Amino acid sequence: MSDVSSILTVFVYTPKGNWQIVCSRWFGNRLNLVAEDNIKAYKYAFSCSGDIALSSFKAGYAGRVGVRDPWLIHLGDGTPVMDGDCVYLIWANESPYPNDDEAYFKKNKPAFNHSYKAIHRFNCKTYEASEVSKIFFRRRSKGTMSILTDNTGGIVWDRDGDGKFYVVTSPWGDHPEKGCNTNIEIAVTSDNLLRGIHVLEAKPLPRYGPAYDPGILKLDGTWYLFTNTALNKKNMWKGLRPPTMYKGADLNRLELVGNDKGSKVNSEGHHFQKINGVWYGLAMQANGRTFAYDLKMNKIGMVPPLPPAPSLQQPCIIAFPDSGKTKYLWVNNDGTVYPHFLPSYGTPRRHKYENRGTVLTLLANQQLDHYDFDAWKRNSAHKTDKSTRDK
């Protein structure tokens, strides 16, 4: 059984070796299962009628049944956080959606709170991934202190600066419906987010909303925030949401670099990556195209949709070192539409294409014959400090 955002889902393990959902129901109209006091009050239990034999039973934190929207974690100088051949990716862990629950759809049209931030250790050579941590957010929601499932957004570990993790996100965990706005929030913590379970308290970044899907970068003491900005301040879903970049020495006092209103682009999934010595801001569109900008918000070019052209393609490009060379991966989801009992996002009855599908990893034919990051040249950041990682 899984409980995410007051949605209870029961799974069975079939003789074919697959997990299948028996039922998925929203209990929010009866019991608020994200309220902190309710979470503390309830315990795991099991009961049944008739004859049944359990071979095993395990209770713990909610597991994923799918992933979407990857973001690469950077250090305070822009270098990807690495451990051997592995980088650390933030993924939104998908949870089941109560497709057949009419009461849920009447109250949540649609909801964005079925996924939570998780960090996965991803091997750039074998493409194997393993989840190492989960991140939830604590704040007052509808008058009640709650533990919420915010997702999307980047992380910078300022390891060689103040040693803290800077997490930007959008408060999707209690976002009620598509007619409402959301903004950019930030949480700063000294906890090692590369392992364990974490509950963070985020605060809104001023002046940058309505906006969502933020990317974050720190270079030479300057912070960069890359997101979209809704031109319609009353309802961000009506009107343009062009990509917008800010920068400054203080995250709470960033100045506008520029935006791309002229292209009439609605952007999502904002990322930073260095390619052949040049830093780019990468933003996707709903039609699968990705626009590239320099750090002055000059448009550099456009990447056409990748095969098999899913509806949304996160431009999560990973640069990694390999025997004196720099290689590049694009990690995404292939857009496969699965049956309704697998995770969905948005309203499944209207947007079945939003099932992100299987993780897709593309290795670029182009590569550099040198290391593109100074830290790799010094061979100091190629491996994460084990004492810090295992703290």
pLDDT on residue 381: 43
pLDDT of residue 348: 37
Instruction: Look at residue 141 in the predicted model and tell me its pLDDT.
Output: 82
The reply to whether 101 falls in a domain is yes
pLDDT for residue 306 is more than 70: no
For residue 34, being part of any structural domain is answered with no
Q: Is the pLDDT of residue 377 over 80?
A: yes
CATH number for position 325: 2.115.10.20
Name the pLDDT band for 343 (thresholds 50, 70, 90). Answer: very low
Token pair recorded at residue 376: 């790799």
How many angstroms separate the CA atoms of 330 and 284, rounded? 13
In a domain? residue 128: yes
Lowest mean pLDDT among 35-39, 152-156, 171-175, 346-350: 346-350
Q: Which two tokens stand for residue 94?
A: 């998908």
**pLDDT value at position 176?**
62
pLDDT in tens, 146-175: 888 888 899 999 999 999 999 999 887 777
pLDDT at 193: 97
Task: Work out the average pLDDT over 11-21.
Answer: 74
**Residue that wins the pLDDT comparison between 106 and 129:** 129
Question: For 194-218, what is each residue's pLDDT tens digit?
Answer: 999 999 999 988 777 788 899 999 9
- Confidence (pLDDT) at 312: 59
Enclosing domain of residue 333: 66-389
CA distances from 151 to 101, 146, 373 (A): 23, 15, 29
Contact 96, 160 (CB under 8 A): no
Taking all residues of the chain, what is their mean pLDDT, rounded to a whole number?
80
pLDDT (0 to 100) of residue 385? 45
Residues 71-92 pLDDT 10s = 999 999 999 999 999 999 998 8
pLDDT in tens, 217-257: 999 999 999 999 988 888 888 888 999 999 999 998 999 99
41, pLDDT greater than 90: no
Q: Classify residue 36: in a domain, yes or no.
A: no
Is there a domain that residue 22 lies in? no
Residue 112: per-residue pLDDT:
63
**Residue 51 is assigned to a structural domain of this protein:** no
The answer on pLDDT for 178 being more than 80 is no
Residue 7 lies in a domain: no
- Give the model's pLDDT for residue 110: 46
Q: Which pLDDT does position 248 carry in this prediction?
A: 96
pLDDT band at 380 (very low <50, low <70, confident <90, very high): very low
Decide if pLDDT at 379 tops 70. Answer: no
Give residue 103's pLDDT.
54
Mean pLDDT of the 352-375 span: 79
The total of structural domains in the chain comes to 1
Mean pLDDT in residue range 40-46? 75
Name the more confident of 344 and 136: 136
Among the listed ranges 12-26, 78-92, 280-294, which one has the minimum average pLDDT value? 12-26
Return phi, psi of residue 78, to 5°.
Answer: 95, -15
Predicted local confidence at residue 378, as pLDDT: 79
384 falls in which pLDDT band (50, 70, 90)?
very low
| Residue 49 maps to a domain | no
